[in-house]
Amino acid sequence: MINLVSFIPRAVVQGIPLLFGSTGEIMTEKSGNLNLGIPGVMYVGAISGVMGSFFYEQSVSDASNMNAFLAILIPIVCCLLASLCMGLLYCFLTVTLRANQNVTGLAMTTFGVGFGNFFGGSLIKLSGSDVPSIALSATSSYFSKSLPFAENSGWFGKIFLSYGFLAYVAVIIALVCAYVLKHTRVGLHLRAVGENPGTADAAGINVTKYKYMATCAGCMIAGLGGLYYVMDYASGVWSNDAFGDRGWLAIALVIFTICRPVVSIFASIFFGGLYILYLYIPTGMDHMEFQELYKMIPYVVTLVVLVLTSMRNKRENQPPNSLGQSYFREER
Pick the closest to residue 48 from 224, 216, 233 (CA basis).
224
Task: Quote the pLDDT of residue 282.
Answer: 72
Residue 49 parent element (H or E): helix 38-59
Paired with 237 in beta bridges are 135
Cα–Cα distance for residue pair 264/40, rounded to 1 Å:
20
Our count of domains for the chain comes to: 1
Q: Which domain holds residue 309?
A: 4-331
pLDDT by 10s per residue, the chain, length 332: 567 888 899 999 999 999 999 999 999 999 999 999 999 999 999 999 999 999 999 888 777 788 999 999 999 999 999 999 999 999 999 999 999 999 999 999 999 999 999 999 999 998 887 778 888 989 999 999 988 877 778 888 888 888 999 999 999 999 999 999 999 999 999 999 999 999 999 999 999 999 999 999 999 999 999 999 999 999 999 998 877 788 998 998 898 888 899 999 999 999 999 888 888 877 666 666 677 788 788 888 878 877 877 776 666 667 788 898 888 876 55
Note the residue count of the chain. 332
Q: Could you tell me the pTM of the whole model?
A: 0.93
Question: How many angstroms separate the Cα of 288 from the Cα of each of 210, 280, 284?
Answer: 51, 13, 7
Pick the closest to residue 247 from 5, 18, 34 (CA basis).
18
- Report the SS3 class of residue 136: coil
Task: Quote the pLDDT of residue 44.
Answer: 97
CB 210 within 8 A of CB 196: no
- Report the SS3 class of residue 134: strand
Task: Quote the pLDDT of residue 286.
Answer: 61
Question: How many angstroms separate the Cα of 59 from the Cα of each of 67, 105, 136, 220, 301?
Answer: 12, 36, 13, 27, 46
CATH for 267: 1.10.3470
| 284 Rama sector, left if φ>0, alpha if ψ -120 to 50, beta otherwise | left
Sign of the Cα pseudo-torsion (38, 44, 47, 52, in order):
negative
Pick the closest to residue 191 from 29, 327, 313 (CA basis).
29
Cα–Cα distance for residue pair 223/166, rounded to 1 Å:
12
Residue 124 parent element (H or E): helix 101-127
Task: Quote the pLDDT of residue 98.
Answer: 93
Cα–Cα distance for residue pair 156/12, rounded to 1 Å:
14
CB 12 within 8 A of CB 305: no
Q: How many CB atoms lie within 10 A of CB 90?
A: 29
As a three-state string, the secondary structure of 229-251 is HHHHHCCCEECCCCCCCHHHHHH
